[in-house]
Amino acid sequence: MGRSANPFEETTMPQYMLLMYQPSDGVPRDSEGQPLTTPEDWAAEREKWAGFSKDLAEAGLLVANSGLQGTDAATTVRVRDGETQITDGPFAETKEYLAGYFLIEAEDLDAALGWAARIPSSRWGSTEVRPLRV
């Protein structure tokens, strides 16, 4: 299996967006939900994330991945009655915020859900899985 070098080439497997949400308090946590407080904590958590990313890539399923800056860096744009409105911050206050994503290929929804369950932050945050429209 594996990805084509051409990102515009049709793939044979469906693609899924794994949207990772974190609590809005912004406190970095380990995969058990405990605040990261020491350099050793940070290093251990980075290893878990690196291992997950490596597993996805080696399986040939990783299409794209990125973390997002916090909601304090967000800008919301709305157009109402032909007028553009720009607001600093997110559209709505929530208990969780979108922290990043993985775009993967998977045989089916069950396989995508299995990968989502392996995301380290799924143990204390949440991961929403959505199929891409074809």
* pLDDT per 10-residue tile (average), the chain, 134 residues: 55 91 81 83 91 97 94 91 90 83 98 97 92 90
E strand or H helix at 42: helix 39-58
Length of the chain: 134
Q: DSSP string of 81-117?
A: TTEEEEEES-SS--SEEEEEEEEEE-SSHHHHHHHHH
Q: 19 with 125: CB under 8 angstroms? A: no
Indicate whether 100 belongs to any domain: yes
Q: What is the CATH number of the domain that holds 20?
A: 3.30.70.1060
Indicate whether 7 belongs to any domain: no
Looking at residue 5, its pLDDT comes to 53
Provide the domain count of the chain: 1
Indicate whether 119 belongs to any domain: yes
Indicate whether 106 belongs to any domain: yes
Indicate whether 64 belongs to any domain: yes
Looking at residue 1, its pLDDT comes to 47
Q: 52 with 118: CB under 8 angstroms? A: yes
Looking at residue 58, its pLDDT comes to 97
Closest CA to 62 of 127, 96, 15: 15
- Residue 37, domain extent: 15-131
Alpha-carbon distance of 100 to 102, in angstroms, equals: 7
pTM: 0.83
